[in-house]
Amino acid sequence: MFRTIFSSTFRRRAAAALALLVAVMLVLPLTLSGMPYIQNVFILAFYMTTMSLAWNLLGGMTGQNSIGHACFMGIGAYTSVLCVTQFGMNPWVSLPIAVLVTAVITGLVFSQCFILRGPYFTLVTIAFAEAVRQIILNWDFAGKAIGVGLPYVRGNNWLLFSFKDRAIYYYIAFAMMVGVYLIMKRIDNSRLGFALKTIREDEDVAAAIGIRPLKYKVIAVVISASVSAVAGFFYACYYRYIDPNIMLQSASVELVLPAIIGGSAFVEGPLVGGILMVSLSEYLRNTFGGILPGINLILYAVVLIVVIRFRPTGILGWYSHSAFRDFLEGRVLGRNMDKNGKEAQS
């Protein structure tokens, strides 16, 4: 493995750049210990990116656009919080239960919904999310509209997943994001990934080469929802309080955006989009939110519209055919431009 990494100048330099980036990310929270707000922005960005990575498995790789992913996250978050508050479980025990409950519910519901294609499927995801939110809103056990909170814990407590020190949340969120990314990367190059991509491109072709579209779509939605449930568990443990608003339509849309802006055809798309969009949105809110209420949202929308209008394949879609890539990978990282590189220039 190491031999392939160090086999060329480009790979050596790219590996070094990546190592440097990771090192910076790991050291960063230590320098930010006096700035909880900035730490919070990073944690939020990692969380959103994780959700967007989960969405991208179903939306980007399988081509089934869901606008109800916040509800998968919500089912996971609620299951785990209710396990802790109502049944007195340890949060760590509640995590696998939350994943399992989310996986079973989505598997059962969506195995029936995949006869619908395209926009009709998207409508079902909206309806499903809203239905779940309404159930929680009217369910005493789940705290109705007031929501439910995790008990307060003093100091840093690994056993109860509660930390006074935000840096720990930072590291956990970072590890969660990187872990999910690596899983998605692995799926992308696997048999499962090829089944999903073939289904995205054409379901008839998929069937003709022996892929059962329904089976693989259900696998995709279950994995996607399970990862969302893990993110939901993290969200609940971080904020210590959840209410049905976490499942609002707007929350679902918000976590689709990083993938689209970053480039949903790429596994790295949500990674790039997530970090950029969350930082941008927080920057705009900080800088302009005070001047005129709502102006930050308008600016955010303008950026979105511009990207989607002029770069519909996202940032990475642009990057993969750009002169900037030739510069960065060719000059800076010393890549020998092969056939692909030459094509990118023409």
Residues whose CB falls within 8 Å of the CB of residue 287, separated by 6 or more in sequence, listed in order:
296
At its nearest, how many Å lie between other proteins and the CB of residue 113?
19
Q: What is the DSSP string of 47-93?
A: HHHHHHHHHHIIIIIS----S-HHHHHHHHHHHHHHHHHHH---HHH
The pair of structure tokens assigned to 330 is 């060719």
Q: Which is nearer to other proteins, 117 or 191 (CB)?
A: 191
Which SS3 state, helix, strand or coil, does residue 157 take?
strand
* Dihedral angle of Cα 5, 10, 15, 16, to the nearest 10 degrees: 130
The pair of structure tokens assigned to 167 is 């840096």
Q: Which is nearer to other proteins, 331 or 339 (CB)?
A: 339
Q: Which is nearer to other proteins, 265 or 297 (CB)?
A: 265
Q: Which is nearer to other proteins, 210 or 294 (CB)?
A: 210
At its nearest, how many Å lie between other proteins and the CB of residue 65?
15
Q: Which is nearer to other proteins, 126 or 192 (CB)?
A: 192
Q: Which is nearer to other proteins, 194 or 283 (CB)?
A: 194
At its nearest, how many Å lie between other proteins and the CB of residue 191?
5
Q: Which is nearer to other proteins, 194 or 318 (CB)?
A: 194
At its nearest, how many Å lie between other proteins and the CB of residue 1?
14
At its nearest, how many Å lie between other proteins and the CB of residue 135?
35
Phi and psi dihedrals of 241, rounded to 5? -155, 135
Query: Which of 326, 169, 314, 327 is CA-nearest to residue 236?
Result: 169
The residue ranges that bind other proteins (CB under 8 A) are 189-191, 194-195, 197-198, 200-202, 204-213, 265, 339-340, 343
From first CA to last CA, the distance across the chain in angstroms is 33
At its nearest, how many Å lie between other proteins and the CB of residue 311?
16
At its nearest, how many Å lie between other proteins and the CB of residue 341?
11
Q: Are 77 and 281 spatial neighbours (Cβ–Cβ below 8 Å)?
A: no
* Bridge partner residues of 162 (DSSP): 157
Chain-centroid distance of CA 76 in Å reads 15
Chain-centroid distance of CA 133 in Å reads 20
